[in-house]
Amino acid sequence: MSDTPLGPENDSISGGLPAASLPVPYQSPSLERPEPRRIEDLDHPYSAFPWVDLQLAAHPENAAYGLGIRHVRPYALFVFENWQNLNFLDYFAFYLEDLTFPVAEDYVWSSANPQQYLAVPSEFIPEGEVSSYGRVIRIGSGNESTSPVRTLLIKTDRPGGVDKDPGSPWHTGLVMRVEGFPEGSNIGAGDVVGGLWCLIDLYEHIRQNDVIELSWDGEFVQHTVSPAEAAGSGPIRVFVPKSIIDKGGQLGKVTLRFRVHDVVENFSGEKYQYSKPYFLDAELDPSLLGPPIFLVDGEELESRQIDFDTQSGSAFEVLVLTNRQFPTPSPRHQIIVTLLGMLEDGTTQPFVLGPVTDNNLGFTFVPVDASVIAQLVGGSFRVSFQWQTAAGVSLGQSGSITITVVGTKVSMPAPDVSPIELGLIPAGEDITVTLPFYEPMTLAGWRRCLSPTYRRGAAMPLSTVKVNWQALRGHLHSARRRAGTVQWAGTH
């Protein structure tokens, strides 16, 4: 046996213990992190402004949903529903067309909100059918979640294009005519038994699923453009059935016009959406009295269109012509004027004026308050009158005329104040003022102001009052740079 602890001729310690049974140096457990994983389990980001479901289109579309002008100008705001295991400083991004570099990205700054937002200025938003998806990278683990890739239709051009003559009070890119009846023609009962065809010339940016809204004296016919019509040489034929003609004016001048909205609900034109009026003289019911005349500042409105932006301060009247009676009735006859409003949303609302005394002069002026016209901006109204005795016995019903109202719709609801009781604000308390949605609202660079007014004797003392208000606004950013939202507040 060798005198050394481990002889060169042996492979074990004296005593026969194998080398494998000897103690080994300590090794710490592995500190390597698991590889980050990527799962397609994220809800697809969506527009904060309700999008258009293209699965409901009359003719098939490739995209799942569409965004129009109102969705992307001056910027588009996309919403991420909070994902599983959301943490402070999670990274999230949205991709449009370019599936490698995001069009907007940000980090989670607050996990208290139920959604996260990304804002993208319109100049960085592509047009047409584009692919899109959302992506999240969690802080710490680096685990990724993505949404399925979806195709969106983003369209910001208008049917009919930009009006080439903005000085005209109609859209000059939209042109129509009536088959067999040149403008100004007379139409009788026999001419409309089988309905009439209107011919629409092809217009700029025509596309399948455009909807042509043709107004026959305020009564609408809708026609959806087919792929064949969009690709054809035109004109597009739109049929007006007798049932629609019967609802319009039956004696006197009738007004035809049309406008177009596309599949994402962009309308032709901004202020002037409709084509030039096309007039026909109707002699469909000769038993009617002659139609009234609509006056603006004492002059007949021959254009049959009110521009409320420029004419809101004008005097509006209806001039009724009736036959003089001999001898003069006692008590006098009466006149009831009806304005049948066709509102912008397609609903109708009657405005009844009178009864007004007929002084047996052969004419009667009936004033129309401007507040009535203001309610009809974006729509139209049909004016007619009924002539009757003082006892209410009808002497005749008139024909009608249709007036279109264009302009900027204005709605300024009162703000909501809390706390408040019976119109009084408790003394010594801060109040919260909520500003409602109003029109017109400018999205870019807007500013909201509150102007408290005090009255001696009110519950609130004459002292400095602090009014807190806040608004949520998307933070605008450069393309492929960090984006997010900003919640800001002001004190007055």
Assess whether pLDDT exceeds 50 at residue 452.
Answer: no
Q: Nearest 5 degrees, angle CA 176-CA 254-CA 315?
A: 110
Residues of the chain with CATH 2.60.40.10: 168-287, 302-410
Per-residue pLDDT tens digits for 71-129: 999 999 999 999 999 999 999 999 999 999 999 999 999 888 899 999 999 999 999 99
Assess whether pLDDT exceeds 90 at residue 255.
Answer: yes
Burial 199-211 (b: 16+ CB within 10 A, else e): ebeebebbbbbbb
8 A C-beta contact, residue 428 and residue 460: no
8 A C-beta contact, residue 208 and residue 59: yes
Distances in whole angstroms, Cα of residue 9 to Cα of each of 23, 194, 221: 22, 120, 108
Q: Which amino acid is at 262?
A: D
What whole-number distance in Å separates Cα of residue 211 and Cα of residue 384? 30
8 A C-beta contact, residue 371 and residue 313: no
Assess whether pLDDT exceeds 50 at residue 346.
Answer: yes
457: confidence class by pLDDT, cuts 50, 70, 90:
very low
Q: Higher pLDDT residue, 59 or 423? A: 59
Model confidence, pTM: 0.75
What whole-number distance in Å separates Cα of residue 279 and Cα of residue 482? 56
Q: Mean pLDDT highest for which of 20-29, 80-89, 406-415, 433-442?
A: 80-89
Q: Higher pLDDT residue, 91 or 474? A: 91
CATH class of 38-154: mainly beta
pLDDT confidence of residue 167:
83
Strand ranges inside 305-445, DSSP E: 305-307, 316-321, 334-342, 348-357, 363-368, 380-388, 394-397, 401-406, 416-418, 431-434
pLDDT confidence of residue 190:
95
Q: Nearest 5 degrees, angle CA 109-CA 114-CA 119?
A: 60
Q: Which amino acid is at 282?
A: A
Burial 83-105 (b: 16+ CB within 10 A, else e): beebeeebbbbbbbeeeeebbbb
Average pLDDT over residues 301-308: 94
422: confidence class by pLDDT, cuts 50, 70, 90:
low
Task: For residue 443, give the nearest of 97, 180, 77 by alpha carbon.
Answer: 77
Assess whether pLDDT exceeds 70 at residue 405.
Answer: yes
Average pLDDT, the chain: 83
8 A C-beta contact, residue 479 and residue 124: yes
8 A C-beta contact, residue 79 and residue 46: yes
Q: Higher pLDDT residue, 457 or 285? A: 285
pLDDT confidence of residue 352:
97
Bridge partner residues of 307 (DSSP): 406
430: confidence class by pLDDT, cuts 50, 70, 90:
confident
491: confidence class by pLDDT, cuts 50, 70, 90:
very low
What whole-number distance in Å separates Cα of residue 300 and Cα of residue 487? 53
What whole-number distance in Å separates Cα of residue 406 and Cα of residue 379? 7
Assess whether pLDDT exceeds 70 at residue 11.
Answer: no
pLDDT confidence of residue 294:
98
463: confidence class by pLDDT, cuts 50, 70, 90:
very low
Average pLDDT over residues 149-166: 93
451: confidence class by pLDDT, cuts 50, 70, 90:
very low
8 A C-beta contact, residue 244 and residue 216: yes
pLDDT confidence of residue 271:
85
Task: For residue 364, give the nearest of 330, 318, 398, 325 by alpha carbon.
Answer: 318
List the CATH code of the domain at 302-410: 2.60.40.10
pLDDT confidence of residue 148:
95
Q: CATH number of 168-287: 1.10.10.10, 3.30.360.10, 2.60.40.10, 2.60.120.10?
A: 2.60.40.10
269: confidence class by pLDDT, cuts 50, 70, 90:
confident
8 A C-beta contact, residue 489 and residue 434: no
pLDDT confidence of residue 423:
66
Q: Which tokens go with 43? A: 């809800």
Per-residue pLDDT tens digits for 354-395: 999 999 999 999 999 999 999 999 899 999 999 999 999 999
Assess whether pLDDT exceeds 80 at residue 477.
Answer: no
Per-residue pLDDT tens digits for 163-220: 888 788 999 999 999 999 999 999 999 999 999 999 999 999 999 999 999 999 999 9
